[in-house]
């Protein structure tokens, strides 16, 4: 145990016998204060020793960096951060869900399976202010898309057309998104690709769908290094960005011998992944249940019109009972 004398030796005492009377008084006052401080330190030291605590330790006072108040504040801040992250994640999930629901509603409108009145009911029930704002933003985007659609139709979008070599450059440079199918008139797989592109063209006016006879376009076949037929080249702003050669990536999961029977939606997904078209997969049965479109489910059960974007798709086969 440290004694009072050993602790006092750490301080320099003023000699009261030196100097004039004023200095002696000041020296005596300083010595008295130092002595009192030493006694207080000794008292605290004795209490620590009696309680078993070490004589020297970090500041563990209530407000110290390791004290209880600090730990409580730190815990509250940590909880608050976790809540903020959770709220942000939930808001993002709700935004994604709202956007997906809007896409489904638009598809169901196309299939005449959802009236405007039913849609309005869905809008008003269960949508908070934030989601309504997201919905309004989405509607504004749809209006802009409608205007763009009208402009594209005037440029020859909405149909699958054959062009000559002389028409190639004006057609490709005349629109932002252009798909050109290089084909051979005697190749069966080119005819299969023709069938799918003819289905896609009127449904995706955001892109121009063209085809050109490879035998009659030797310059562009060589310039673009077309070596496999069929080949679809995607031009974005007049630049050849991507291509689909043969049936690559279109027959995965198809039974052996049935590779040529892939659905149009597979090609649509492929072209969407390239950035050429905007394609939204038809709603699954689980999504219909999630968005509580019970009347629509009833219409599907009764066979009330096709909800798929393309006639050869079968996304809605199966039991939809709850």
Q: Is the pLDDT of residue 286 over 50?
A: yes
**239 band by pLDDT with thresholds 50, 70 and 90:** very high
Q: Is the pLDDT of residue 168 over 90?
A: yes
Instruction: Tell me the percentage of the chain whose pLDDT exceeds 90.
Output: 35
Q: Which two tokens stand for residue 101?
A: 């629901």
Count Cβ atoms within 10 A of the Cβ of residue 321 and give its class: 0-12 exposed, 13-18 middle, 19 or more buried: exposed
Q: Is the pLDDT of residue 123 over 90?
A: no
Residue 257 phi, psi (nearest 5): 90, -10
Give the predicted TM-score (pTM) of the model.
0.53
Q: What pLDDT is recorded for position 250?
A: 94
Q: How many other CB atoms are there within 10 angstroms of residue 237's CB atom?
A: 11
Q: What pLDDT is recorded for position 303?
A: 45
Q: What would the pLDDT profile of 45-87 be if each residue is shown by its tens digit?
A: 777 777 665 555 555 555 555 566 767 777 888 888 888 888 7
């Amino acid at each position: 145990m440290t004694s009072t004398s050993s602790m006092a030796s750490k301080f320099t005492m003023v000699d009261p016998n030196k100097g004039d009377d004023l200095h002696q008084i000041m020296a005596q006052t300083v010595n008295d204060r130092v002595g009192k401080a030493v006694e207080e330190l000794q008292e605290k030291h004795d209490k620590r020793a009696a309680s078993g605590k070490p004589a020297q330790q970090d500041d563990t006072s209530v407000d110290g960096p390791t004290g209880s108040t600090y730990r409580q504040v730190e815990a509250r801040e940590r909880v608050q951060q976790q809540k903020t992250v959770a709220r942000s994640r939930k808001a993002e999930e709700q935004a994604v869900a709202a956007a997906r629901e809007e896409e489904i509603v638009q598809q169901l409108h196309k299939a005449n399976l959802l009236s405007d009145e039913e849609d309005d009911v869905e809008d008003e029930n269960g949508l908070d202010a934030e989601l309504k704002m997201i919905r309004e933003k989405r509607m504004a985007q749809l209006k802009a898309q409608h205007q763009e659609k009208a402009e594209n139709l005037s440029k020859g979008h909405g149909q699958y057309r054959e062009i000559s070599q002389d028409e190639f450059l004006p057609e490709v440079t005349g629109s932002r998104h252009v798909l050109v199918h290089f084909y051979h008139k005697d190749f069966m797989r080119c005819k299969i690709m023709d069938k799918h592109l003819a289905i896609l063209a009127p449904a995706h006016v955001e892109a121009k769908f063209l085809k050109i006879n490879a035998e009659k376009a030797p310059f562009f076949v060589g310039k673009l290094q077309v070596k496999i037929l069929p080949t679809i080249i995607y031009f974005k702003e007049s630049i050849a960005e991507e291509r689909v050669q043969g049936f690559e990536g279109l027959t995965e999961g198809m039974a052996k011998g049935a590779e040529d029977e892939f659905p149009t939606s597979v090609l649509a997904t492929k072209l969407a992944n390239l950035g050429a078209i905007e394609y939204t997969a038809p709603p699954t049965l689980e999504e219909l249940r999630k968005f509580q479109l019970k009347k629509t489910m009833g219409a599907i059960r009764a066979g009330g019109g096709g909800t798929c974007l393309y006639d050869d798709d079968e996304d809605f086969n199966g039991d939809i009972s709850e």
